[in-house]
Amino acid sequence: MKLKGRTAIITGANQGFGEAIASEFVRQGAGIFMCARNKEKLEAVKEKLAKIAPKDQKICTMVVDVAHEPEVEKLMNAAIAEFGHVDILVNNAGIYGPKGPIEKINSDDWVAAIEINLLGVFYCCKHMMAHMKKNNYGKIINLSGGGATAPLPFISAYAASKAGVVRFSETLAGECQGFKIDVNAVAPGALNTRLLDEVLSAGPQIVGKDFYEKALKQKKDGGVPLEVGVELCVFLASGESDGITGRIISAKWDSWKTLPNRRQELMASDIYTLRRITPEDRGKKWD
């Protein structure tokens, strides 16, 4: 029960990875406030979680489009009113957006992906910040992905927005110094969720041969289990990770379970951050 007594807001919690996070948070003792755009799926998840939660453990829902700031502000205020305090914010809601060469994709669809994936994170953080600063404590977990640390040709909106999420997380972590608010980005790994199905449906002519074949292999192999990323989110939401902030952490590849023993060493370095590589970093002298 690593999250007993804590409360969390989870966006995009009606399916896939968001639902998996919500389920484990409930098992770990947290009261949760879930949001998503699809009411039927959201209520179905709430019914499932109610079966595993004690009667005094609150599970709340609200239909919200995180791309619309007034709806986000309403969500934050409702969660604070319901729980009295919110300790954890998990910004999970996201979409791939349009796929294909940029000269052929719809510009409005590209912008819409940025609004959900990046502006949605900004709006949620903005309208929770005063509350967390007042409490002098908070945990913010922003979902990143492969597009943040490597180019994703033909899925440009997703890649650009997720890179933005990581830099925003690092920047917000700096703003929160002195308030005991930890802000981190999570790369959960290649998950077999609806996003993978979208890539396979689009086909190699849209997403590119290499990415499509990689997706086919992932579908066959099963991808990274949801539980791997969920376990990292529980760690970052718990007191065990206090003081670890401003990082992008891979659930599959990084040794994050040992970070409590390396807290000072980590925070004195640029490990697990986005940084520019210079010629000297690769042993070259170009000047």
Q: Looking at 96, 123, 158, 272, which residue is catalytic?
A: 158
Does the annotation count 158 as an active-site position? yes
SS3 per-residue string spanning the chain: CCCCCCEEEEECCCCHHHHHHHHHHHHCCCEEEEEECCHHHHHHHHHHHHCCCCCCCCEEEEECCCCCHHHHHHHHHHHHHHHCCCCEEEECCCCCCCCCCCCCCCHHHHHHHHHHHHHHHHHHHHHHHHHHHHHCCEEEEEECCHHHCCCCCCCHHHHHHHHHHHHHHHHHHHHCCCCCEEEEEEECCCCCCHHHHHHHHHCHHHHCHHHHHHHHHHHHHCCCCHHHHHHHHHHHHCHHHCCCCCCEEECCCCCHHHHHHHHHHHHCCCCCCCCCCCHHHHCCCCC
Catalytic residue ranges = 158
